[in-house]
Structure 1
Amino acid sequence: MEKVIIAAVTKNFVIGSKGKIPWYNKKELNHFKKTTMGFPVIMGRVTWESLQKPLKGRLNIVLTKSKLCYENTNVIFLNSLKKALEFCEHNNYEKCFIIGGEKVYNHAIKKADKIILSILKKNVIGDKTFPKINSNWTLVGIKNYDDFIVHTYIRKRKIEKN
């Protein structure tokens, strides 16, 4: 199963401010929706609360230590990223998307196979940022839109010697 991080960031890598996304970009939201539709999306509790309702057409997996309840068959609550990934693997999903927030991205970047990063062409002040993309990742694609650029990275694999 492919584990994909998907995020929108500003040029200064801000992803949030006081529990909210500090911008609105309809084209970027459409890109996110089109990319994730039909696949599970894994998110932290703060991200879940910022959405105010489940994302349609996707299984919403919320990571929380609290006992939350929501009357919807497209929402489940688990207490760790590990359990969420195991759940997706066990249920034979082709891929799953990790959609935030900051703590979840920081854990997921060590486990993910791919990153799809929309970089908005502006800076915003915020209190949550996306983790640094280090040398473990290779940039494999760039797609330009009017207000943002999508960078696609894949994890570098160690070449095994025979």
Structure 2
Amino acid sequence: MSALTKTNEQMPAKVSAKQTASAGQYLTFVLGGEVYAIGILNTKEIIDYGYLTEVPMMPSFVRGVINLRGSVVPVIDLQARFGKGNTAVDKRTGIIIVETHRDTEEGDQQDIGIIVDAVNEVVDINQSDIEPAPSFGAGIPSDFINAMAKRDDRFVILLNVNRVLSIDEMAALSHSVEYA
């Protein structure tokens, strides 16, 4: 009976990764000319782009680590993660510190910084403004997108933070680089 209970407890975590986004507050930002958003509950803070310590043998989208109040926080170049080249750093470039979770029984969490061209604002998005993610055409892997939100006659791409910043996938990629 406990094996059945464990299976049922684990199912919602996997199903929720494929569900569309829900109404709420989102932090919007610009990356490569497109507007993206992540749930405000995933966002811990926003900092200016600063000194990064490069770590050898990491995938190209891992730009390095920063010291955030004594903690080592990996910093991901989101544009490179999407396969669109490196983000050009200028005076508006920022780092959003995001809390991610692993789909494990322990529920491990990790803070990860993502480099963005510019942070815009926090917006309220209604459920009526949310459309399912397209299966093609966004220029990034479709499982990285939770949904699309209509805002000011444009679409904002609502990212699936736990998929885009999957600790397990990035660890696997770093091992493949290490042994390549």
Q: Same fold (TM over 0.5)?
A: no
> Between Structure 1 and Structure 2, whose CA radius of gyration is higher?
2
Higher RCO (CA-CA < 8 Å; seq separation 6+): 1
Name the structure where strand makes up a greater proportion of residues: 2
TM-score normalized with structure 2 length: 0.26
